[in-house]
A and B are shown apart, each in its own frame.
Chain A
Amino acid sequence: MSETVIKCESVYKIFGENAKKMLEESNGNVDAKTFQERGCIVGVNNASFEVAKGEMLVVMGLSGSGKSTLLRCISRLTDATGGKIFIEGQDLLELNNKELIELRRNKMGMVFQSFALLPHKTVVENIAFPLQIKGTNTEESISRAMEMVKLVGLDGRENYFPRELSGGQQQRVGIARSLAVEPDIWFLDEPFSALDPLIRKEMQDEFLRLQEKLQKTIMFITHDFDEALKLADRIAIMKDGIIEQLDTPANIVLNPATEYVRKFTEEVPREKVLIIEDVMDASSKDNLGDLKVSKDEIIENVAEKILTQEKLVGVIDSNNNIVGSIKPSKIIDTVFGGRKNGS
C-alpha cells in the first residue's frame, strides 16, 4: 500500500447544542434515535477509513445519509464533534486558523454541487481567485488561470460571467478553480448531480481523463450508484451517518455487507462492473481449453468469447502465467443467476 493521505479515526459529527457532552456520555456508542429525542441530529457516526495517495474514494449515499457532512469534516468546513482526522499525518483538528488556511491554499481543492461560483467575477477571474487570495500577482494568476481554462476546454469563454454559462460549463469553471492551486487532495461534492444525464456522462468521462493525467487523491461524493461504480477505486456506502460498507466496486457488487447495500447492487449489470479475476476459480488450473483471457478484462468484453467454449477457459495475468480458470456456465451464472446472495 502506498502512503496514506487522508486518515479518519472514529469521526463523529453531531448537530445540536449539547452534542459534545452527549457524545462523551455515550462512550462512542451513538444511537441516532436516542440522540434525536434529545434534540441532536447525528450527521456522521463513527467513520474510520484511509485514503491512499492517488486513490479515488467515492462516498455514496442517499440525501441525508451524512456523506456531505463527512466531506465537510475532512475539509474542516465544519468541525467534527469527535474522533481524529489526519491529512498527510497532520492532525487536522489541532491546526490553528492560520495553518488551516495554509493547508487549504496549497493542498486542497473542492468542487461544489451548485458550482458556487462568484457571480461578480468572470470565468477567468473565478479560476484565478484562489491564487489571488494566496497573494499571487495578477499577471501570473491570470495566465495560470488561462491554462486551467484550456484544460477544462472553455477557451474563448474566459470573459463570460457565470450566469452566461450552461450548467456543465459552470461546473467546468468550478473544477478549474479547484485545480488552480494544484492541490494534492481534491474534494468533489456531488459535482455532476445538478447536470442533465448526457452532460453528466460527458463530464464523468472528462473527469476520468483529468484524473488519469493529474493523479490526485480524491474524495468524491455522489448519490448515484452507477456514477460511483464508474469512477471509484473504492466505494464507501453511507446510511444514517454510518459507513455501511467500504470496498472495491466489485466486492460491493459481489458481497454486499448489509441488506441496504444489496438493494443498490440488485439492479447493477454485473458484467459491466466485474472483471474475470472476481469470478474465476483460482484452484483449478488443469484441463484448460485453447482460449485464454486476461484476469483484468471486464466480463462484458469477453463474455461472448467464453460462452462459445465448451471447456474451461484459462485465466492469465499480465505475464501470461495461468492464475486460474473459468467455466462458461459461470458467466451465465454471474450475469443472470444468483442475484439473491451475490455470487
Chain B
Amino acid sequence: MEYLKKYPKLFQWLFLLIVFFALCFAIDVPETYKFIRGQAEFVKDPNQSVYFFLGKEVRYYAFDVFWRLPPLLGWLPIWINDSLFFLMNEWMPMEFWNEDTQEFKTRPLLLEISRNLTSFMTFLIELIREILLGGLETIVAFTSWDFIDAYPWLELPGLPWTIVAAGAAILSYKLSGKGLALFAGLTMIYISIFGQWKPSMQTLSFILVAAPLSFIFGLGLGIAAYKSKRVEKALYPILLVMQTMPQYAVLVPALVLFGVGDHAAVIITMVVAVPPMILLTILGLRAIPPEVIEAGRMSGCTNWQLMFKVLIPTARRDILIGVNQVIMVCFSMAVISAFIGAKGLGFNLLLALNQLNIGLALEAGLCISLIAILLDKMSLAWANKQTDYFGNLTFFQRNKNVIFFAASFVIGIILAYVGTFIFKGSFNYLFEIPHNKGISTADFWNKGVDWIFDTFFVYIKAFNTWLIQDVLQPMRALYLRMPAVATLVLAVGAGYLIGGVRSALVVAALTLFIALSPWWDRALVTLYMATFGVVISCLIGFTVGTLCFQNKKSAAFMLGVCDIFQTFPSFVYLIPVMMLFGITDTSVLIAVIVYATIPATRYTIEGLRSVPVGLHEAATMSGVNKFQRLTKIEFPLAFPHMMLGLNQTIVFALFMVIIGAFIGTEDLGQYILKALSDKNGAGIGLTLGICVAFIGLIFDNLIRTWVGKRKKHLGIA
C-alpha cells in the first residue's frame, strides 16, 4: 500500500500492461487468420465478406471483431479516387480558348487549371534547364516551331560546364569566401569529369525551381498564419499530418492531378516542402520579443516594412532552418519523384539501384549529396551576408565578382570553341562531357562490392540469417499476434495516463482510423520495423551523443556530421546497405538505423548542452564526480529534449521504412509503391500515407504531451 501511494503512476502503468497482456492471451488467433501476402484485399476467398457504402462495394476478410476490426473505412480510398476523377474530368465544364486550334473548347475547370499550372512549371524548369544545357523549348514558347525552323541558330547552345563551374565558385566566394568557393569549384569539376553533368543539371534545374517556390509559398503562408489565427487553425491539422506523411504517398494523387514529368515533381515537392517551412516561419515569428516589434513600429514602419525589414530578419534563424529543410526535402524528392518521371540524377539512381549496379548508384548518390551540401551552405551564407559601408573601394574592387565572371564566361566560350578543334569527331569535353562518357568509378565499386561479398559472404550471410530468423521473424510474429482490441486498449490507456482524456481521445481516433482501414496488418509490420529501428537508433544515438558531449570539440564535430548526413537524400542511404546485405529486410533496417540515428544523436547533444552552467557548477561544488553529474543532473534535465529527439527518430524511421519498400518489404510502403502503378492508386496511396502519418502522430502526440508536462514540472518550459 505504501508503494501504491508513493508511485501511483507506476501502478497505473502496470495495470494497463496487465490488461493488455490479459487481452492478448484471452483472444485466440482465429483459425482462418493467416498473414496474407500480396494483394489480400482483392483476392476472392470463401472467408471474404462484402458490404456496401455509398454505393461502393468493399470486400474484406471477416474475423472476430476482437481480433481484427472490420475495414469499415475500406470505402475511403475508392471514394477519394472517384471524387478525384469526378473533379478532374466532369466538374464545372467551361469554355476555354485554345491557342493551338484557335477555337473554344469545353473542359472541366480543374483540368484546365491543372494544365495551365503544369505548363507554367514546365516553362520555368525548361528555362533554367536550357540555360544550363541548351535547347529550344523556351524560345518556342515565345514564338513558334515555324519560327525556330526559319532561324535554327536561335537554339540555345547551353553554357559550357567550365562557365557554370566558375560561376558557382565565384558566387560562393561572394557569399562566403575561399573555402566555399573551393568546394563549389571542386564539386562542379567532379560532376563534370565523372560524366554526371547532364543529369546533375537536370536535377539542379528542378531544384532551382522547386526550392524558391517552396520557400516563397512557405514563407507567405507562414506569415498569413502568424497574422491570422483563423488561417493558422485551418492550416495546423494539415501541417501536422504532412509532417509525418511519407513523401511517397503524395506521389500518386499528384500523378492523377498533374500527370507525369518534372512539372508534377515540382508541384509535389512543394506540397511536401512547404509545411515545414510554414511551421518554422510561424515558430520564428512567434519568438520575436514584443519590444523589437514595438521598436519597429516606433521607427514608423508601415506593415510591409515591419514584416520584411524587422520581423523576418529577426526571425532569420528559424526561417533559415526552414530553408535548410526545404532544400533537404527538394533533394529527397528529386530522387523519389523519379517514380513519376522526373529526369535527372534521381532517375539514374533509381535505375542503377533497380539493376543492382551499386557503383553507378553510388556515383549518382554522391553527386546529389554534393550538390545538396553546396546549395545548403550557399543559402546559409547568403542569409548571413553583411554589407560594408565604409570600405573605400575602387571600381574594380566593387565589381570584381562581375568582372571575374565575365572573364571566365569569355574564357569558357573560347575553351569550348578550341575544344571543337581538339576533339574533332568525338565529344567536345571542354563544352559538355556527355553522360557516362566521363571517368567512371562504377566498375571499381562494383568489383569492391563483389570482393566484399566473396570474402565476407559467409559472415554476412550468417549475420543476416541470424537477424532475420532469430530476431526479426519472432518480433514480427509477436506484433501480428496482438489482437486489435488489445492494441487499442494499450494505445488509449497510454494516452490517458500521459495526457488525460484529451490525449486518450486523440490517440483513440488516430488508432481507430488505422484499425478500420484495410491495412491494419501492414501497419503492424510497419510498426515492428520502425520499432526495431528506433530502439537501436536511440541506443546508438544516446550513447554516441553522451560520449561526444564529454568534450566540446567532439560535440561540435558530431553536430557537423549530423548536419551533413541530414543533407543526404534519404534514398542515398539505401546504396551502401544494399552493397552489403543485398535485398533483404536487414538492408532496410540498417538504412533505417543509420538514418534515424541522426536525430537521436543531435537531440542528445543539444539536450545535454542546454543544461544551465550554473547547475554544473552547483553540482561540482557539491562534490559529484563526472558520472554522478551525468546521471543525477544532466540526464534528468536533458531528458525532455532527448524525448523530442525520440519523436524525430520515429518520424525518420517511419520514412525510411516506407522508402525501404523499394527494396521489397511487406509493410504499408509496399502498397504505396504498388499504388503507383495502379490506375485507381490515388485513393489507396493517399489513405496509406495518412495511415503512416497517423502512426507517427500517435507517438508525436504522446511524446509531446509528456515532454510538455515534464518541462513544466522541471521549470524549463
Contacts and interface: CB of A to CB of B under 8 A. Distances in A.
Interface of A: 72, 75, 77, 101-102, 104-106, 108-110, 112-122, 124-125, 129-130, 133-134, 138, 142, 158-159, 174, 177-178, 181, 187
A158 B309 CA distance: 20
Contact of B291 (A101, A108, A113, A119): A113
B313 A116 contact: no
Nearest to A120: B313
At the interface, is chain B mostly helix, strand, loop or mixed? Answer: helix
Contacts of B316: 119-120
A116 B390 contact: no
Contact of A110 (B294, B314, B390): B294
Nearest to B310: A118
B289 A114 contact: yes
Given A104-B300, A105-B299, A159-B388, 12 more contacts: A75-B298, A101-B300, A109-B298, A118-B295, A120-B313, A120-B316, A124-B389, A130-B299, A133-B300, A133-B301, A133-B309, A134-B300
Contacts of A138: 389
Contacts of A125: 387
Nearest to A161: B386
A116 B300 contact: no
Contact of B295 (A101, A112, A122, A142): A112
Nearest to B313: A120
Nearest to A189: B291
A152 B220 CA distance: 39
A110 B300 contact: no
B649 to A, nearest CB: 32
A104 B305 contact: no
Interface in B277-330: 289, 291-292, 294-295, 297-302, 305, 309-310, 313-314, 316
B389 A142 contact: yes
Interface string B170-187: 000000000000000000
B199 to A, nearest CB: 38
16 contacts: A72-B294, A104-B299, A110-B294, A115-B291, A117-B295, A118-B292, A118-B314, A119-B314, A122-B386, A124-B389, A130-B300, A133-B301, A133-B305, A133-B309, A159-B390, A177-B299
B289 A104 contact: no
Interface centre among A124, A129, A178 (most CB of B within 10 A): A129
A174 B298 CA distance: 12
Nearest to B384: A120
A104 B314 CA distance: 21
B294 A77 contact: yes
Nearest 7 A/B pairs, CB to CB: A105-B300, A116-B295, A130-B299, A116-B291, A104-B300, A110-B298, A120-B313
B389 A116 contact: no
A19 B294 CA distance: 23
A77 B299 CA distance: 11
Nearest to A143: B389
Contacts of B300: 101-102, 104-106, 130, 133-134, 181
Contacts of A112: 291, 294-295
B321 to A, nearest CB: 15
A148 to B, nearest CB: 14
B233 to A, nearest CB: 18
Nearest to B317: A119
B670 to A, nearest CB: 48
A77 B298 contact: yes
A104 B302 CA distance: 11
Nearest to B390: A159
B289 A77 contact: no
Contact of A116 (B292, B302, B309, B387): B292
B308 to A, nearest CB: 11
Contacts of A158: 390
A108 B390 contact: no
B601 to A, nearest CB: 28
A113 B290 CA distance: 11
Nearest to A180: B299
Contacts of B309: 129, 133
A70 B309 CA distance: 27
A116 B386 CA distance: 20
Q: Which of A116, A125, A130, A181 has the most CB of B within 10 A?
A: A116
Contacts of A75: 298
A108 B298 contact: yes
Nearest to A115: B291
Contact of B314 (A120, A130, A133): A120
Interface in B259-293: 289, 291-292
